[in-house]
Amino acid sequence: MLDTATEAERSDQLRLLADSATAFASGRLSLARARKLRGEKPEFDPAMLAELAGQGWTGLLLPEELGGFGLGFAEAAVVIDSVAGQLAPEPLVPVAVLAAGVLRRCAAGERRDALLGGIADGSVIPGLAWQNATGGLDPADPAFTATVQGEGWSVSGQARFVRPGSGATHFLLAARSDKGIELLVVEAGSDGLKLVSEAQADGTSLARISVEGLRVAADAHLSLSAADFAAAIDEAVLMNAVELLALLRRMRTMTQDYLKTRVQFGKPIGSFQALQHRAVDLLIQEELTAACLNQAIAAFDAGSCSVDERSSYASRAKARAAEAAMWTAREAMQMHGGIGVTDEYELSLYVNRTLALAPWLGNASAHRRRYVRLNPPKAGSDA
């Protein structure tokens, strides 16, 4: 579909999708709802995730034959932007981008297709467990080890930073084996699966998943190449950057509005030049982020990049979005003054969500490093 639609057709479709996403988000995803779900177990509403699925949003990126819509990242970004902007804690990126992206790259088969169908209809909510306890970001070195044992597999290890943790219906344990990357599908609550929640700034949590010699049947085993695994993670990194852009845009806009209305010394504080210039710097960061993300999304959708080029785009996008969002959060609080650091005022919800989402899958600093590792400085790069 991406190949055949003209640019103009696609941009019309994107506009329609944006309208419906905005309408849904403002009608069904209130900030009050987000506030109430903080600290709950699970910290999201599975029924709402099913509603999102009903909109077709969990299957957006999946091929039509698997119950999805076969759309691109530009479409996914439009939806993710609306959902993230309303601070919905439902794990759209972890499920519909990360887990779905990994699964759809595994060899076709009954188990895989059922999981993907479940993601598309909202009945399956898988959490991918792959990072080790210190947050390693190398997809070729996932947290678990797996060995063939009899008809099935034996898995051991501990993963951290798993989203969703509580509320997940399945966990996909990414493991090293002699042959490469294995994916072991384990139902939540299975015997031998230990889950510990770690609370995040925004009232959501990440899970630590540990297993020790857990037996997994052969039919719950999927496998994919390290490059495919990495590709799926890069897609989640990019869509995570889209979430951060949604957050920073709203924090910046709230601040812009506040500067116009808050009066001190007989004037709106937005008339003070020092604040004006700082507000402009935030605007510039937002526009840089948007431009960078759009370029990356277009490159992903064009599909002509090498693995390293995709990783470079993803890292650039995440580095910019995370840095800009953290910067915007700080300045938004400062320019709001006291009210900016209260729980009651909505800004703090955005700040705390930013604090949780910016480090996920690697913070700005980690992604800048990955970018230059992939693209080291060399002489003669111009002329």
* Cβ–Cβ < 8 Å for 59, 67: yes
Strand partners, 215: 154
Length of the chain measured in residues: 383
Residue 158's H or E segment, with its range, is strand 152-162
* Cβ–Cβ < 8 Å for 144, 162: no
Nearer to another protein, 29 or 322 (CB): 322
- Can you spell out the DSSP letters for 99-153? IHHHHHTSPP-HHHHHHHHHHHHTS--EEEE-B-TT----TTS-SEEEEEETTEE
Distance of closest approach, residue 225 Cβ to another protein, in angstroms: 24
Residue from 104, 105, 112, 160 binding another protein (CB under 8 A):
160
Distance of closest approach, residue 297 Cβ to another protein, in angstroms: 11
Binding region for another protein (CB under 8 A) out of 1-9, 66-74, 143-151, 368-376? 368-376
Distance of closest approach, residue 290 Cβ to another protein, in angstroms: 8
* Cβ–Cβ < 8 Å for 218, 152: yes
CA atoms within 13 A on the CB side of 193: 22
Answer yes or no whether residue 357 interacts with another protein by CB under 8 A.
Answer: yes
Distance of closest approach, residue 278 Cβ to a second copy, in angstroms: 9
Binding region for another protein (CB under 8 A) out of 13-21, 80-88, 173-181, 318-326? 318-326
Nearer to a second copy, 272 or 327 (CB): 272
Q: Burial-class residue 363 by CB neighbours within 10 Å (0-12, 13-18, 19+).
A: middle
Nearer to another protein, 223 or 289 (CB): 289
d(CA 12, CA 298): 16
d(CA 25, CA 190): 34
Distance of closest approach, residue 58 Cβ to another protein, in angstroms: 24
**CA-closest candidate to residue 57, choices 87, 78, 34, 85:** 78
59: left (phi over 0), alpha (psi -120 to 50) or beta: alpha
Nearer to another protein, 198 or 212 (CB): 198
Give the binding site for a second copy (CB under 8 A): 272-277
Subset of 257-296 contacting another protein (CB under 8 A): 259-260, 263-277, 279-281, 283-284, 287-289, 291-292, 294-295
Distance of closest approach, residue 282 Cβ to a second copy, in angstroms: 14
d(CA 291, CA 285): 10
Nearer to another protein, 108 or 284 (CB): 284
Binding region for another protein (CB under 8 A) out of 16-24, 182-190, 301-309, 343-351? 343-351
Answer yes or no whether residue 310 interacts with another protein by CB under 8 A.
Answer: no
Nearer to a second copy, 183 or 279 (CB): 279
Distance of closest approach, residue 284 Cβ to a second copy, in angstroms: 15
Residue from 4, 7, 150, 377 binding another protein (CB under 8 A):
377
